[in-house]
Structure 1
Amino acid sequence: MADITASMVKDLREKSGAGMMDCKKALAENNGDVDAAMDWLRTKGLAAAAKKSSRTAAEGLVGVAVAGTKGAAVEVNSETDFVAKNDQFQAFVREVTQLALENGEDMDALKATKTPSGRTVEEALTNNIATIGENQSLRRVRVLEVSQGAVVPYVHNAAVPGMGKIGVLVALESDAGADVLEPLGKQVAMHIAAAFPLALDETGLDAEILERERGIAREKIAAEVAEKGKAIPADIMEKRVEGNVAKYRKENALLSQLFVMDGKTPVADVIAKAGKDVGTTIKLKDYVRFQLGEGIEKEESDFAAEVAATAGITK
């Protein structure tokens, strides 16, 4: 049996929204494994279906930029939010985003690209670390392009123009004008920022994630059936399981999600109607959503805990 500490319970509680005692029990039942405990809580209906990748756990900035029918998004991480407000750091993010827009999303090639200062991106990053005094990293980059249409950018709660904690790009393929595509793209981008789709359509959802959801659904339904004291045929069980998985697919694929602006129209229908209104076809070709630090677990500094650890006390 793993030693369940208060900090582990606190961490799980923050991630799941479940009660403290439920979190403690979940950790105990799963030998201290936080991910398994999260699934256990979901199976019991005690936690929201939170996506692990949505946990913002690092600082820095996401930058987005567009030029014509092409757009780029980058994420540059730092240790503290204080650095994200630094002019030198912001200038670096701005430069790297522009270089990605001009040169593509190959990370190695981008790091070797020269910045306006004459240094390569990698050298400029090393210089930032030395002069600002905090570790930083160029984490990821994506570039979208359409042959005709628009790539529309959006930054949620921008810290400065083109940079913030959530950056979105929406690629719309169409011969419609900018007066149609720009406002449509911005609305879809705002939806993406809020709704956090996992894929453009259902075929793009990760098979491993779907299988995990299938297992969670099966356990949850089995628990409900056992509580009622009635058995159900295996085929009925599987139909209910697949019904749950189908719902998950619909709720997590962008085109089938209900548009946040009205809460009832699928995104695919919103785009189709926009095209119909102007007598042409508009296709949502792709999108990018970068949320600062998603998927990174950040170690929190706790002075009291450090003192306790030094004294050999388990927190």
Structure 2
Amino acid sequence: MAITAQMVKELRDTTGAGMMDAKKALTEVNGDMEAAIDWLRTKGLAKAAKKSGRVAAEGLVGISVRDGRGVAIEINSETDFVAKNADFQQMVRDITDLALQTGESIEVLRATHLNGKPVEEVITEAIARIGENMNLRRMHLLEGDTVVSYVHNTAAEGMGRIGVLVALNGPKDKAEAIGKQIAMHVAATSPASLSEKDLDPSLIEREKAILTEQARESGKPEAVIEKMIVGRMAKFFEEVTLLGQKFVINPDITVAQAAKDAGVEITGFARVAVGEGIEKEKEDFAAEVAKTLGA
């Protein structure tokens, strides 16, 4: 497979590796971008393993919570101009409230009636009225004794760029107090799962394979390598699981310890960020303005 300059640039942007190292990595794995990232990490040449999904699409995340039940939905638009549109924001608010009442899944929500019409049709009419493509992309429902929410980069009440829900068991007053702090922590750190047992097995295997190759390149005996891998995997779990992470409010303790000290238990969380994992063509500012104005 021919390795293009664009492929090299994308890999450099993702990993922080040098140009020649990025080109060599792509050549070694026949252009497979994820495999090239792993190759660079194995060789210790990736300065940072950035998230593979680049956030590009616009829109809003809507959050609604009531009586131990919370919902977060994402509705995308093409530009952030539309995300600031009062008409669009009202639609997001209405669909979010509807999802909290009746939503079981994104498919059910699309078919549920809002003001006498299916949500899918409401969005289609908004596309025609506002003049920009939109999409109801994701929905997360969370339940617990207490569900706490947090919205980052707020555009209006209950909606913004990042929405977080945290479910907790325990006394309601204590859960609400520590829950808000934990929700802010989740917004900042974007953990992959609640705990080690909730992690995607393929993610664990991939990380273990990378760490194993790194350890073997040290030339140490196999028995030493095994101990190195155990320690490094423990560090990995601390970094990517919510309960294992150092609490941003007090880095001397973990999130699990903070919850325990508060007398509550974290049972689940959801974090939704606008455009997460969506590719979008880059446009210059003038072109985006012209597009919004229908020029």
Mapped pair 1:137 → 2:135: yes
3-state DSSP class of the match of 2:252? coil
Q: Cα 1:145–1:79, aligned 2, differ >3 Å: closer, same or farther?
A: same
1:164 is matched with: 160
> TM-score scaled by structure 1?
0.84
3-state DSSP class of the match of 2:246? coil
- Deviation readout 1:277-303 (Å, 9 max, x if unpaired): xxxxx1111111111122223333479
Moved more, 206-215 or 9-18: 9-18
Alignment RMSD (CA, Å) = 2.0
Cα pair 2:169 2:265 within 8 Å, conserved: yes
Of residues 145, 151, 154, the one that matches 1:155 is 151
Matched pairs, number: 284
2:51 is matched with: 51
Cα pair 1:4 1:27 within 8 Å, conserved: no
3-state DSSP class of the match of 1:61? strand
What amino acid sits opposite 2:31 in the alignment? G
Following superposition, the deviation at residue 154 of structure 1 comes to 0.3
3-state DSSP class of the match of 1:299? coil
Q: Cα 1:241–1:301, aligned 2, differ >3 Å: closer, same or farther?
A: same
Q: Distance in 2 between matches of 1:252 and 1:93?
A: 31
- Deviation readout 1:148-192 (Å, 9 max, x if unpaired): 3x2111011212221111110011112x243x3222111000111
Q: Distance in 1 between matches of 2:88 and 2:148?
A: 24
- Deviation readout 1:62-106 (Å, 9 max, x if unpaired): 111111221110011122222212222211111111111101331
Q: Distance in 2 between matches of 1:273 and 1:136?
A: 44
Q: Distance in 2 between matches of 1:83 and 1:35?
A: 33
1:126 is matched with: 124
1:204 is matched with: 198
Q: Distance in 1 between matches of 2:19 and 2:139?
A: 38
Q: Distance in 2 between matches of 1:138 and 1:14?
A: 29
How much identity, in percent, do the aligned residues show? Answer: 51
1:235 is matched with: 223
Q: Distance in 1 between matches of 2:22 and 2:282?
A: 19
Structure 2: gaps of 5 or more residues: 286-295
> TM-score scaled by structure 2?
0.89
Mapped pair 1:103 → 2:97: no
Q: Cα 1:120–1:23, aligned 2, differ >3 Å: closer, same or farther?
A: same
Q: Distance in 2 between matches of 1:105 and 1:21?
A: 50
Q: Distance in 2 between matches of 1:159 and 1:40?
A: 41
